[in-house]
Amino acid sequence: MEILAFGVQADEKPLIERAFQGHHEVRCLDVFLNEDTAPIAAGYEAISTSVNAELGARVLEVLAAGGTRMIAQRSTGFNNIDLKVAERLGMTVARVSYYSPYSVAEFAWTLAMAVNRRIVRAAIRTRDFDFRLDGLMGRDMYGRTVGVLGTGKIGEAFTRIAHGFGMKLLGWDVAENPACRELGMTYVSKEQLLAESDLVTLHVPLMPETQHLIDADALKAMKDDAILVNSSRGGLIDTAALVTELRAGRFTGVGLDVYEAEAGLFFLDKSLEAIEDDTLARLVTFPNVLVTSHQAYYTEDAVGQIVDATVKNVLDYRAGRRSENVLVPRS
């Protein structure tokens, strides 16, 4: 069986080809799956997709009509897939339920420290041989308060680093993590966490219940000089409301690796095009905002684990096995 993999980055391609070697043939495409590209999958029983693939009803129907019976998504999140339609069409859907939490946690800290210590501005200056320190003053993290929204595997990894910095730890989640408790974390309401934290970081999945978890009211509840980091899913933050607060001069820094309307933008070269998204265009103009293109997971370790899990998902499908990665089982 030949697998068709959509949205494969150049660094990913050799890892995917090597992992499938000896099992199945794999054809890697750099285009992302959407309604326009879905017909390419005709004749492929199994496909692999990236986190920004569009897998709504129309795309799934096109895939099913072309003979696709299995979708192996190379990510933990699956909010982009209409699982009910996939089940109705008799399609098997699997994801990667686990990969290195350190990749995302470490990158979240990279964003936090970059905006805190004005690293981007400093690097641009020194490239122009401007060595002034004006406007580059940051703050010690030691002794300050961090609020971790979502204390699963990634949130725990972030908390361990925060503990190493000597910070006061506040957490919020539907279920408490004993490991975070042992590190000294105090679980509080979301409102108290936002009001008291110098650094707020998001590590919850995107679901209807968490859509715009950080809305206008939540943003207003935060300290004026707080740092906000999102390395989870863009839809957790009401970006228009965030722009409003930034225009008012609030927040020491905002680090975003995700954006709620990133599909069709992130992972692509848009440098020679006019960006029609006015909210994103405005967002990147703020000197205290750093936006990266959904790269927190992008380490050799994490991508290797994602690829290995994807191969296993395809092999399990062929063998009729189920695992914790299966979202819609084989009918």
Told to judge if 127 belongs to the known catalytic residues of this protein, a careful annotator would answer: no
Identify the burial level of 179 via C-beta atoms within 10 angstroms of its C-beta, where 0-12 means exposed, 13-18 middle and 19 or more buried. middle
Instruction: Say which of 12, 45, 156, 262 is annotated catalytic.
Output: 262
Residue pLDDT, tens place only, 10-22? 999 999 999 999 9
Query: How does pLDDT run across 121-145, given as a tens digit for each residue?
Result: 999 999 999 999 999 999 999 999 9
Residue 233 annotated among the catalytic residues of the structure: yes
pTM of this structure: 0.91
- When pLDDT is cut at 50, 70 and 90, the band that residue 300 belongs to is very high
Catalytic residue among 74, 95, 233, 250: 233
- HSE of 320, CA atoms in CB hemisphere, 13 A: 1
For residue 330, what pLDDT is reported? Answer: 83
> Which uninterrupted H or E stretch holds 309?
helix 300-319
For residue 99, pLDDT over 90 is answered with yes
The catalytic residue among 74, 203, 250, 294 is: 294
In which residue are the tokens 């009918």 written?
A: 331
Q: Which residues, 6+ apart, have CB-to-CB distance to 96 below 8 Å?
A: 73, 74, 75, 76, 305, 306, 309, 310, 313, 325
Element (H, E) at 145: strand 145-149
| Mean pLDDT value across the chain | 96
Q: How confident is the model at residue 79 (pLDDT cuts 50, 70, 90)?
A: confident
The model's pLDDT over 239-285, given as tens digits with 9 standing for 90+, comes to 999 999 999 999 999 999 999 999 888 988 889 998 899 999 999 99
Active site residue 74: no
